[in-house]
Amino acid sequence: MFVLENGANKGEDSRLQAISEAIRVVPHFPKQGIMFQDITTLLLDPKAFKDTVDIFVDHYRDMDISVVAGVEARGFIFGSSIAIGIGAKFVPLCKPGKLPGEVISEKYVLEYGTDCLEMHVGAVEPCERVIIMDDLVATGGTLSAAIRLLERAGAEVVECACVIGLSDLKVRRKLNGKPLYILLEPRQVENGF
């Protein structure tokens, strides 16, 4: 477990090995060369899933966080559980057309095209302290868009958090100085799990 902020690493937690082993690695999915980190197998292991949520709750419990914003869809799974654990509200950040009513949106560039995140108008109040949760960060593009969206609404983004992430300087640059808290680096295996 570590915080990617000025290169500082956090200490190891004895639960991390079981969490890592509960995540299936699927080689060459969805395309050749990708080692897909499948968190659905983590969700099938109640102890590992609870430990994952508990580590995040322990980290954020005393940080005066009022909002956990979860990125569709896997960020909803972890984010809503963490929000309950720290007594914060949960705000879904969705793909276009998924939220009824008035929304604000933020477009961002992907490797092969563009995408967009949307949030209900009024979901966050100015100056609310927010963490952004997703299951995995690879390039930082989606988290960067989430930061811009929440800051446009007046929120203070305190940190981004992911279960799995790359410890890459390029990712940190995209987050405009916001800390990135990740539990695990991606596992590499030959034949999957």
Structure confidence by residue, pLDDT tens digits, 122-165: 999 999 999 999 999 988 899 999 999 999 999 999 999 999 99
Give the active site residue among 24, 61, 74, 152.
Answer: 74
Per-residue confidence (pLDDT) for residue 149, from 0 to 100 = 98
| pLDDT > 60? residue 9 | no
Query: Rg of the chain's alpha carbons, rounded to an integer?
Result: 16
What angle do helix axes 74-86 and 46-60 make, rounded to 10 degrees?
A: 60
Per-residue confidence (pLDDT) for residue 90, from 0 to 100 = 98
* DSSP-derived 3-state class of residue 4: strand
Percent of the chain's residues with pLDDT above 90: 75
- How far is CA 113 from each of CA 71, 108, 109, 145, 186, rounded to the nearest angstrom? 19, 9, 6, 14, 24
Question: Hey, what CATH topology would domain 64-184 get?
Answer: Rossmann fold (3.40.50)
Structure confidence by residue, pLDDT tens digits, 18-34: 999 999 999 999 889 88
The verdict on whether 111 is a catalytic residue reads yes
Q: Any idea where the domains of the chain sit in the sequence?
A: 64-184
More confident residue, 3 or 136: 136
Look up tokens 């960020």; give the residue. Answer: 75
Give the active site residue among 21, 102, 111, 129.
Answer: 111
More confident residue, 175 or 78: 78
Structure confidence by residue, pLDDT tens digits, 63-86: 999 999 999 999 999 999 999 999
The verdict on whether 128 is a catalytic residue reads no
